[in-house]
Amino acid sequence: MSSFSNDIAAVNALRTEQSGAWSAINPESVARMRIQNRFKTGLDIAKYTADIMREDMAEYDADPAAYTQSLGCWHGFIGQQKLISIKKHFGTTKKKYLYLSGWMVAALRSEFGPLPDQSMHEKTAVASLIAELYTFLRQADARELGGLFRQLDAAEGEQKAAIQTQIDNFETHVVPIIADIDAGFGNAEATYLMAKQMIEAGACCIQIENQVSDEKQCGHQDGKVTVPHEDFLAKINAVRYAFLELGVDNGVIVARTDSLGAGLTKQIAVTREPGDLGDQYNAFLDVDQISIDDLNSGDVVIKQNGKLVRPKRLPSNLYQFRKGTGEARCVLDCITSLQNGADMIWIETEKPHIGQIGAMVDEIRKAVPNAKLVYNNSPSFNWTLNFRQQIFDAWQEAGKDLSAYDRADLMNINYDQSELAAEADNKIRTFQADAARDAGIFHHLITLPTYHTAALSTDNLAKEYFGEQAMLGYVAGVQRKEIRQGIACVKHQNMAGSDMGDDHKEYFAGEAALKASGKDNTMNQF
């Protein structure tokens, strides 16, 4: 017996127990509503999506072509439309996730107004957005199933059976969210409390970074300050405890390192014996060897390799690492995180270069053979320029004639139709597949694409609507395209839940229901 049939039988039994008081309750309507609301709580979602991620990770280990992708979404509607679009174009949501970017939460969801990515937004904002995203995705389920139920009621014979099969095999719009907790918004206890909020809202995967919480910076800006490994591992432990307390035993932790671009540390690590983790961290410090006679008032000195050294301390009271140590520090960070509870790693790079990423992964995999990366395909990179430069350098090394190109001016529009530009674009197209194969990248995400698409589409509309095209600017540039491309949102009343509301009104009031979907509903024009 199907779950649908079981629900009908169960509700019918309950109704019978009420001695006629529930006679107006239709068991089939209840069963339909239950199917439309498969996930009752955020924890149900977290457990379900964690299983998906674990399966996907295992499939990637067996075949690196089975990588996963996501787009950052800053509003529930954006996430909903993305998943509706994916189902429309590809027939399945498999290996397609959502990314919740701390950058976009700061810029677009803070009650303080637009903020830089410096962990200044409210601690509750991330969990609130997770809950909002899943509310919209669950509504997408209810909307699509409601449409199928209405088709079922109108169908006959074989057609009815075919629609029932669609209902029985319905694939939910609910997919994993990789959620950015930044640097934990405080100490390990604060990290734990915030992680709990995020998991209870539905997050199965939490990404945390090794910067200081009070001076966190966007990974693509200057001024990044890392913390010693023990501090970071305490926060990884805090997130794991949150998962385990809430019963999400297979929750996923992504440990991000910003060491490639972070040349500063706030603390000198505690070390107990030569070669321990603290000693390895301190070994990267930029130091001067001194004698006792060289000491000045307030100097901080440590013993390193039997020598007295003075770490270089800036007026900000921060200590700096030696230049050129970023990649080695990234490798140590990643190995340490993976060996101490993290499931995956994230290396924030300054450019999308497979050779650079792959070289670090090769070193990491010497210690952790199945190491996997989550990678930021960042809009902060100038992808066009970076890949044109990479092709230029490769051609130069191969001895190809480059007299037609100026490396310093490769963004010039005059190169857009060139052979070099075409080759660069092809490398951008295959970047994700190539990096999954050659650089251990399991998940490719774009942090803030919908921030940019919102700006771009609004600019295009404003230019036309407030210009000479006036109303045609909207009609030709938006509505007609929606119709031609089969964008469900063109029926915006339906997308907002009008038809579902009509269904419910009929359940609640029967023939007395006042419905919105009559002949005078202008949505019938579409």
Q: What is the pLDDT of residues 468-514, one digit of tens each?
A: 999 999 999 999 999 999 999 888 888 888 888 888 988 998 888 88
pLDDT at 1 > cutoff 60? no
Annotated catalytic residue 218: yes
What token pair was written down for 249? 């035993």
Upper half-sphere CA count for residue 210 (Cβ side, 13 Å):
34
**Of 47, 45, 7, nearest to 26 (Cα)?**
7
| Amino acid 333: pLDDT | 97
Active-site residue identified among 204, 205, 218, 334: 218
What token pair was written down for 86? 């994916």
pLDDT at 332 > cutoff 70? yes
Pick from 120-134, 244-258, 289-303, 464-478: least confident:
289-303
Radius of gyration of the chain (CA): 28
| Amino acid 220: pLDDT | 67
Cα–Cα distances in angstroms (integers) from residue 166 to residues 135, 149, 333, in the given order: 23, 10, 47
What token pair was written down for 465? 């609507």
pLDDT tens, position by position, 190-246? 999 999 999 999 999 999 999 887 777 665 666 688 999 999 999 999 999 999 999
pLDDT at 324 > cutoff 80? yes
The sheet that has 287-289: what strands, in order across it?
287-289, 307-311, 302-304
The set of residues, in sequence order, having a beta carbon less than 8 Å from that of 26 and lying 6+ positions away, is: 507
| Amino acid 305: pLDDT | 87
Pick from 113-122, 224-233, 252-261: least confident:
113-122
The set of residues, in sequence order, having a beta carbon less than 8 Å from that of 442 and lying 6+ positions away, is: 56, 57, 60, 67, 68, 344, 372, 373, 374, 436
| Amino acid 222: pLDDT | 65
Question: In the chain, where are the structural domains located?
Answer: 42-271+323-383+435-456, 467-505
Give kind and range of the element (H or E) at residue 87: helix 76-90
What is the mean predicted confidence (pLDDT) over 66-70?
Answer: 98
Cα–Cα distances in angstroms (integers) from residue 375 to residues 67, 354, 444, in the given order: 11, 11, 5
Asked whether the beta carbons of 483 and 526 are under 8 A apart, the reply is yes
Which CATH superfamily groups domain 42-271+323-383+435-456?
A: Phosphoenolpyruvate-binding domains (3.20.20.60)
